[in-house]
Amino acid sequence: MTRRSRARQVAFQVLYQDDLNPGVSPMVGETLQAERLRTTELLQFSRQLVAGVRRNRPQLDEILERAAANWSLRRMSATDRNVLRLGAYELLHTDTPERVAVDEAVELAKRFGSAHSAAFVNGILDRLMQDKAASSG
């Protein structure tokens, strides 16, 4: 696992915690990141991802609902939902290359999701990439 992949994994874990336990202080996530990511660079990257998803969550959820035809976010597993939020944030709001953002999200889905999660996440994020290309081109 690359170092940035590790930072994404920790960011995903914080987002998953946020989703399942919305009343928990954000400091719990901060502590988790600090404990698991030893370098300033990785800690900063992970924190940027978490902050970006938190800040843009309503917009990300709306975009994901549209891209996931016939699937509402609340019907998705918490794992898939949060991998998708993270992947969509990277696709839409960072300079991470699109294919890298999708591949990293698929790897998280493989590691933490069900047998079908990787294909599900790949399909939705691929649709987001196509929509992004169509709207900018």
Mean pLDDT (the chain, rounded): 94
> Residue 83: enclosing H or E segment and its boundaries?
helix 78-93
Q: State the pLDDT at residue 69.
A: 84
Among 65-69, 75-79, 109-113, name the one with the lowest average pLDDT. 65-69
- The domain segmentation of the chain, as residue ranges, is 3-136
Q: State the pLDDT at residue 64.
A: 95
Residue 76 has pLDDT above 80, yes or no: yes
3-23 average pLDDT score = 96
Residue 50 has pLDDT above 90, yes or no: yes
Q: State the pLDDT at residue 108.
A: 98
Q: State the pLDDT at residue 1.
A: 62
Q: State the pLDDT at residue 134.
A: 87
pTM of the entire predicted model:
0.95
Of the chain, the percentage scoring pLDDT greater than 70 comes to 99
Q: Rounded CA gap, 86 and 89, in Å?
A: 5
Non-local (6+) Cβ contacts of 102 within 8 A are: 87, 91, 122, 125, 126, 129
In three-state secondary structure terms, 95 is coil
Q: Rounded CA gap, 43 and 55, in Å?
A: 18
The CATH homologous superfamily to which domain 3-136 belongs is NusB-like (1.10.940.10)
Q: State the pLDDT at residue 71.
A: 86
Residue 63 has pLDDT above 90, yes or no: yes
